[in-house]
Structure 1
Amino acid sequence: MKLKNILLTIILLTSITFANEIGKPFVQIGHVSAILASDVSPDEKYIASGGNGNVIKIWDIKTAKEIKTLYQHNDRRDWILFIKFSSDGKYIISADSGRDSEIKYWNLITGKIIKNIKLTGVTTKVISNKKYLVVLESNDKYTASIFNIKTGKKIKEFSINRGYIGSAVISNNSNSLIIGYGGDKNGIIKYNINTGKIINIYKDEHLDTITTMITSHNDKILISGSDDKTIKIWDNINGNILKTLHVNYKDIKSLYLTKDNNKIFFTSFNKVILWDIPTSKELNSFEGHKNHIFKINMFIDEESFITASADGTLKLWNIYNSNPILNFRGKTSEIYSMAILNNKLISHNKKRLKVWNLSNGKQIKEFLGNNNQITSISTNKNKIIVGGFDTSVNILNFENGKIIKKFKAEKKFKDKKLPTLRIRNKVIFSNITKDNKYIISVQYKIIQIINNKNGKLIHTLSGHKGGILSISFNSNGSNLISSDKSGTIKIWNIKTGKNIFTFTEPKNVLFPNIFKFLITKDDNYIFYTIKNAIRMLDINNKKIVKTFKLKTTTIYSLALSKNQKYMITGDQNKNVNLWDIEKKEIIKTFKGHSGEIYNVSFINNDKKIISGGSDGVIKIWDIEKSKEIIMLVSFNDGEWLSITPNGFFDSSKNGAKYLNILTNQLNVTSIDKFYNTFYRPDLIQKVLNGEDISKFIKDINLNKIIQDGSAPIVSIKTSSQKSKKRDINLKLEVCTIDDGGYDNLTLYLNDRAVDVISKDRALKLQKQSKTRKECFTISKLISLQNGKNKIGFKATNKAGTIESNLDEIVVNYKGRSDTKPNLYILSIGVDKYRDGDLQLKYSKADANAFAEVIQKVSNPLFKNIYTYQLLDKDVTKSKVLEMFKKIGKKTTREDVFIFYMAGHGITDAKTGAYFYLPVDFRYKNENSVRKKGLSQNDFKLALSKIQAMKSLTILDTCNSGSFSEAMASRGVLQKTAINKLTRATGRATIVA
């Protein structure tokens, strides 16, 4: 093994990025695939993890929130097999596996690479202690390379015995390297780390591969785990066996020996076992993972530990509890298939299909595609064709997701080279012919053609030597084309079932997988992927006429433009490349994915590109601007998000819970604190329609908002309880952070704002803490609703720009419920605005008519109905707020309140905020609206005075313009504003 170079300068390479920037929202995606390596920081605040997908995630251990993602775009790597924090916790060391791998030193604060060690052999193991970093490589020769772990400087290299290396460990005194072998050379060999000479060969070998080893803290004991279902305890001085523990567990990947040398924690498949050495008995087991556990990270007190698993999760455990107490998990799944129909994107997540509207970035539908794992999706007119693990092909109605037809493919395959019947018989591809007559079902090497009317098997097409990887139709749908793992492309006549064309990749390529191919409109050429190249095949003479080549990496996906002058590819290096077919060159590269790209397509008349893959996200790119414009994320729990690179987002009801903001280099906070700034569905739609939103970005200075100071930490000191009284006194605590201060102390009852306490009012109520000068408490009386009362409390910083977290308790109250409630109606309307340009004709009449109609139809339902009105000259800001106070004093929790408002409403295009214009409003400039209009905060304060928990707000307001907003976009902008208003008040709001 040779060391090529060590980059010791602090650099920011274009190919090296860390995904999460300070002051910009980012999505909590987590790991989508296996976690193979992890380590806890010395201060036990953070954990770093990595594995398949070649990304490193930094997590906050206390909150299980993802803080940063570190990844590299250009270099292909197999997986990350080693992660270690430095002893001072300032940087992270990582290593990937395979040929030409690298060791990287990452600055934890900045996320940038500070050292880069390039290796030339095939890296199989990387281990470390406080002094050394050791790399074990197998190539033409087997070597151990010793590095100073602090400086990255190579100290020594020596040869080691050949054989499969199952495990290795460095002694704590740094004098020896111990290697456990597997295969036909099972055994343990100890090497002098300074000379490379063999010190000892341990006797009484394991009967199977040694999978993990650890030494005691004083180096006197060596413990080894093996696939022979035993753990052996050795005298590490003379190599003699001291004890064999017949644990009867296989697949032991990780070990931890307690400081007293009496107990062992070890992993077996998906659980951790605690074993008592003196009695040789199992004391406890910890279960919760769904796949292999690769690493145990024990805390200093030996009472807590974190596990890393192939199921893509980390779990925090306490040794006294068999269940995990915290999960660090991936939120999405890999995107293997995508299809586009009527400007709608269809993707799948395990069993479910997700449908996105590409005009506004919303996920509009989700339905079950298969009772088992979905393996493929395709479309035909208004149908979705779904293949699954259970050998079924389902045809679904696109509009409602209902299954129109279901076919079961026959299980005929007896290829014993395949590991399981499940792999042999799953439907890996499915489709329907253009004439709607035949269903195509692909299982491994076999294609079945099924009659769409009666479900009968018509043809079974065989002849592929490798598993089939892709299928498609020619232009008129008469022929089926298929490609496989052996580098072969076949064309079949669908009607006769005959093979009419066969072509095999002529070059001698190792693993000649043809993952994707496309046929041109004239049926004369096929473009197909082969490793790091695309070939253009002339069908008529079976000759390759063009080859398009990348330096390295495997190409997984391919698409042609409508004019067939350009193509796009997605590859293992996480890149989307746009090619000029005539010139045979890449003209643009789009970077941003953190995993392999399995799907690419042109959309929007070839103006945009859409891509998806192993990182579980879908990205839309603007070709002309050469940049990402939107990311779409569908989560495993059914929630979704669409987000611009600048952080503007739209989401499902609870989708925003997966958004966080990095407020400094290692602190994240939830998007709730900045929700009003970044929740902008109107801007998502603008971007997708090709509009420039840079002017909106300029208006946001999030760094300034962050500099305003943190929101306080708030808590409800009153415990959850059952109450016999309707009115209870709450003890609320507020603790300010640094100079952030506090304001807008808000109480919520069942998600509705019921009291807003300003800073001035809080000063009169507060009682200073005797032990913590930054904290104070206030007492607040709250009236309960009959039944369950979920009481929440939150605040903002003194600038009102950042929200605190919400603290909640539950109080149950059983009161009288046999009496009818009262109904309170407040209707306001303005026709005669003092600004002559704003005058209306029907607002006053509508307000009167609304109150009359509601009163008439509601009489039988309520004990009493009380109607209040403000019309024309009385609709001033002060009188509206005063009226809410007046009504609020009369209402109870069981009453009903309806608020109707007619007149002029206006939406701030810069912030997406809604304002109602009172009668005395005069337009001078944009600031006059913000100053004189009734704002979201005004309505929040007003509605908090209303005791009635059942309430409805109806906005029958003319949108008099949205601060220079185009009329075509006002509808979605108004909806954005109303959604923000509803979230702030917790009250149902509709637009008439």
Structure 2
Amino acid sequence: MFFKRIFFLFFFLSAVIVYPQDGYILPQTGHWGTITSAQYTADGKYIITASEDNTLILWDAETLDELQVFDWHNDAIVSFALLDDSSTVVSLSKDGMYSITDFKSDSLVATGEVPEGTILQLFKAGDGNSIVLVTDQGELYIFDKDSEEPESAGRLPVTSFITVDYDPVNERFAVASESGEITLFDAGETEPLGVLAQSSKNKFRKLLFSPDGNYVAGISDVAGSGDNSLIYVWDTQTHQIVFSTTAGKGYLEQINFLNSSGTLIYSLSDVKIAAYDLATKTEVFSIKPTGEITALAVSPDDQKVVTAYFDFTLKQWIASKQTIINEFSPSVKKINSVKTDAQGSTYLFSLELADFFIWKNGSEDQNKFLPTWDGNLGAYDLSPSGNFFAFGGTAGNVKIFDTENSIEVSNLSVDATGGVKAIKWYKNDELVAIGAEDNSLVVKNVNTGRVQAVFKGAKTPVSAIDISPDNSMIAAGTIDGTVLVWRINGGSLINEFAAEEPSSILSLAFIDEGKKLISASENGEIIISETENDGQTIIPDFESERVTSLAVSPKGDLIAVASENNPVVVTSPEDTSFIQEIGLPTGQALQVMFSANAEYIFVVHSDGNIYIFNINTGNLIGNLYFFKDGEWAFINPDNEIDCSESAADYLRYIRNNQSFKINLDNFPGYKPGLANLILF
């Protein structure tokens, strides 16, 4: 785990020990990407889930509390296996990297990559302590947690296949070919054991042996039927079909087996979750699910089933009674971006679903949650004084809100049927520049709604706007990579810089007292342009990187660049030999912003929260989380917390994979006002 878990020591404050020593605070945020697989540990105490967000999460199977997050991978996790020691998990990501984790000690035992090919799947071997790797070329490798690297173990006797599964009890493979055949092979043998019967050949995208190896199940796309899907189960001795069902169009199916009997559990998305006894050929139960299931696991004693859903929730239920006993629902409100005013007295956080959180120093109601119910957010900006903000959505209008009272004070009509993509306040609280539908920049008075100026010349929609420090020039970047500069008085076009390769301008800002303009495009080009002549300088360090955000410090002497490749880089636009690299957890920095005093840098991360770093040292200062209904929490590296009253419901104190609810009345690390010390 990365920044979310930072260890510390609690001292005894009274005769009663409320919280064990050597623990950590863990916000219960869950996954932020699709959960692709789940498994119970052999002792049934824990559940492990893997996700497209590049992480594994360890859960308490009794409470579904989140206990640990393992973020060793840099790509989506496609497979993992638990060894028989009940503490080791081996995981595989899409980029071909594997990791071995001891989740009891929270340590990365080993990591590496297979010498050749892309890893298609990994499986636990028959001894329970080794792993079998299969590449997309059919190469086989085997290793255990003490191996320095995987050793070659031959190859499958096929040259082209879609998916594969391994039966550790009988040491054999089931391989689904491109032609639609499923063939059984003994490990190490070239001759097939047989081909599984089908009435018509279908392309199988998933295969799964039963725990005893007596059955193999598969999910296919039915030939010639569009998106229809089919679930088959075969007897591995007779190679005959013993069960089949059609899911219908558009459904995401899941299959698993009970551990102690030949019973298949399968889900047909929002149609049903059912159990079918393959020996007696009877349906054991059938229930209506509560959403689209992305993963399904059965406890070792066959008593419980856990299901994961598209909205990242988990539900655990008793198999025999089909009753839900507990569930986890992500509580975090993902942060999209953050802005502050020139004085650093107001912070405006843009949250998912076009909600806002206003943090205003000196205000009687300092923290305000503002749901707008406007759906998607196109663009927004905070006024220089911090007293107002403007935002535009897909409806093509711009709303003005008062940050002190969180009320709408104006609604500006704009000709932008495709949605407002760029907004910028003038150096006062009266005028706002907006990218319009006809590719022009329209300046409107927020009090009267009247058009004050129109700047034309852009050939594609405006994606970024800035105004020079002396209020004499306005600049715009467009989605084709062009940068234009106008004189505000008179509206004349001063300069135009066309991109060699079209790529949307993400951000731009005047620097050097307005003499220069720095811009960043999606393709990684960061260019410094002379505002009143043709001079341009490309900052070479970021070429070929896909940039996600550019920020300029208040004095213009520093820039911060976030790209798809970690880390965030802070440097000087004039001398890039000075570099402060800020490491991040797996995922992506969506936005970077300097504090008003340029002491801190705020990084909005794809995991939904904000990381705050000291610019000079690169050290983490703390993490800021937002939860449902406007609750928030700030956690620093010493595990001291400041939070709203009900935010403790979304936090747990973890020690030795045990979770404890946090009571702010007696929690030693609760420090009211801590967040204000950082923000203001």
Give TM-score scaled by structure 2 length.
0.81
**Correspondences of 1:597-608 after superposition (within 5 Å):** 597-608=589-600
Q: Is the 8 A contact 1:20 1:26 kept in 2?
A: no
1:677 aligns with 2:668: yes
Distance 2:660 2:139 in 1: 44
Match for residue 374 of structure 1? 377
Distance 1:124 1:365 in 2: 48
Change in 2 beyond 3 A, CA 1:137/1:538: farther
Q: Is the 8 A contact 2:123 2:166 kept in 1?
A: yes
Matching residue's letter, 2:101: W
Matching residue's letter, 1:175: E
**Correspondences of 1:255-404 after superposition (within 5 Å):** 255-258=255-258, 263-269=263-269, 273-276=273-276, 283-289=285-291, 292-320=292-320, 324-341=324-341, 342=343, 343-351=345-353, 352-357=355-360, 364-381=367-384, 382-388=387-393, 393-404=398-409
Distance 1:526 1:347 in 2: 24
Q: Secondary structure at the match of 2:101?
A: strand
Match for residue 576 of structure 2? 584
Q: Is the 8 A contact 1:450 1:458 kept in 2?
A: yes
Farther-moved stretch of structure 1 (268-277 vs 296-305): 268-277
**Correspondences of 1:948-987 after superposition (within 5 Å):** none
Q: Secondary structure at the match of 1:609?
A: strand
Distance 1:680 1:519 in 2: 39
Matching residue's letter, 2:434: I
Distance 2:421 2:156 in 1: 46
Farther-moved stretch of structure 1 (256-265 vs 77-86): 256-265
Q: Quick one: which of 102, 108, 114 aligns to 1:113?
A: 108
Distance 1:18 1:111 in 2: 13
Q: Taking CA–CA contacts closer than 8 Å with sequence separation of 6 or more, which of the two structures ends up with the larger relative contact order? A: 2
Q: Quick one: which of 629, 652, 663 aligns to 1:660?
A: 652
Match for residue 19 of structure 2? none
Q: Is the 8 A contact 2:605 2:611 kept in 1?
A: no
Q: Quick one: which of 492, 495, 498 aligns to 1:503?
A: 498
Match for residue 146 of structure 1? 141
Distance 1:176 1:447 in 2: 66
Distance 1:155 1:70 in 2: 28
Q: Is the 8 A contact 2:580 2:616 kept in 1?
A: no
Deviation at 1:192, TM superposition (A): 4.3
Give a deviation string over 1:528-563, Cα, whole Å, max 9, x none: 15556644455643744431238x964322212233
Give a deviation string over 1:639-658, Cα, whole Å, max 9, x none: 11122221222221111233
Which sections of structure 2, spanning at least 5 residues, go unmatched? 8-21, 222-227
Q: Quick one: which of 206, 216, 224 aligns to 1:212?
A: 206
Distance 1:670 1:339 in 2: 33
Matching residue's letter, 1:541: D
Deviation at 1:399, TM superposition (A): 1.9
Q: Secondary structure at the match of 1:677?
A: coil
1:616 aligns with 2:618: no
Deviation at 1:333, TM superposition (A): 3.4
Change in 2 beyond 3 A, CA 1:294/1:189: farther
Distance 2:475 2:105 in 1: 52
1:560 aligns with 2:546: no
1:90 aligns with 2:87: yes
Change in 2 beyond 3 A, CA 1:37/1:462: farther
Change in 2 beyond 3 A, CA 1:270/1:581: farther
Q: Which structure would you say has the larger Rg?
A: 1
Matching residue's letter, 2:409: I
Q: Quick one: which of 120, 123, 126 aligns to 1:128?
A: 123
Change in 2 beyond 3 A, CA 1:172/1:353: same
Farther-moved stretch of structure 1 (277-286 vs 387-396): 277-286
Distance 2:514 2:328 in 1: 51
**Correspondences of 1:765-784 after superposition (within 5 Å):** none
Match for residue 11 of structure 2? none
Match for residue 165 of structure 2? 169
Deviation at 1:249, TM superposition (A): 5.9
Q: Secondary structure at the match of 2:216?
A: strand
**Correspondences of 1:775-794 after superposition (within 5 Å):** none
Q: Secondary structure at the match of 2:555?
A: coil
Change in 2 beyond 3 A, CA 1:310/1:590: same
Deviation at 1:364, TM superposition (A): 0.8
Q: Quick one: which of 529, 537, 547 aligns to 2:540?
A: 547
How many pairs does the alignment contain?
Answer: 638
Matching residue's letter, 1:223: A
Q: Is the 8 A contact 2:520 2:527 kept in 1?
A: yes
**Correspondences of 1:623-662 after superposition (within 5 Å):** 623-662=615-654
Matching residue's letter, 1:42: A
Change in 2 beyond 3 A, CA 1:197/1:442: farther
Matching residue's letter, 1:211: R
Match for residue 928 of structure 1? none
Distance 2:266 2:472 in 1: 57
Deviation at 1:240, TM superposition (A): 4.6
Deviation at 1:634, TM superposition (A): 1.1
Distance 2:263 2:44 in 1: 22
Q: Is the 8 A contact 2:41 2:82 kept in 1?
A: yes
Q: Is the 8 A contact 2:463 2:504 kept in 1?
A: no
Deviation at 1:366, TM superposition (A): 0.8
Match for residue 464 of structure 2? 471
Superposition CA RMSD, Å: 4.1
Deviation at 1:172, TM superposition (A): 3.7
Change in 2 beyond 3 A, CA 1:218/1:36: closer
Q: Is the 8 A contact 1:90 1:107 kept in 2?
A: yes
Deviation at 1:265, TM superposition (A): 2.2
Match for residue 44 of structure 2? 44
Give a deviation string over 1:125-172, Cα, whole Å, max 9, x none: 32313436344444xxx333332455553242536766673x431124
Distance 1:658 1:119 in 2: 39
Distance 1:175 1:504 in 2: 58
Distance 1:667 1:293 in 2: 28
Q: Which structure is higher in helix share?
A: 1
Distance 2:157 2:507 in 1: 43
Matching residue's letter, 1:677: P
Distance 2:416 2:664 in 1: 55
Change in 2 beyond 3 A, CA 1:562/1:372: closer
Which sections of structure 1, spanning at least 5 residues, go unmatched? 1-14, 413-424, 690-992
Distance 1:591 1:205 in 2: 55
Change in 2 beyond 3 A, CA 1:17/1:646: closer
Give a deviation string over 1:388-429, Cα, whole Å, max 9, x none: 3555543222222222334677786xxxxxxxxxxxx56555
Q: Secondary structure at the match of 1:295?
A: strand
Q: Secondary structure at the match of 1:194?
A: coil
Matching residue's letter, 2:610: I
Match for residue 569 of structure 1? 561
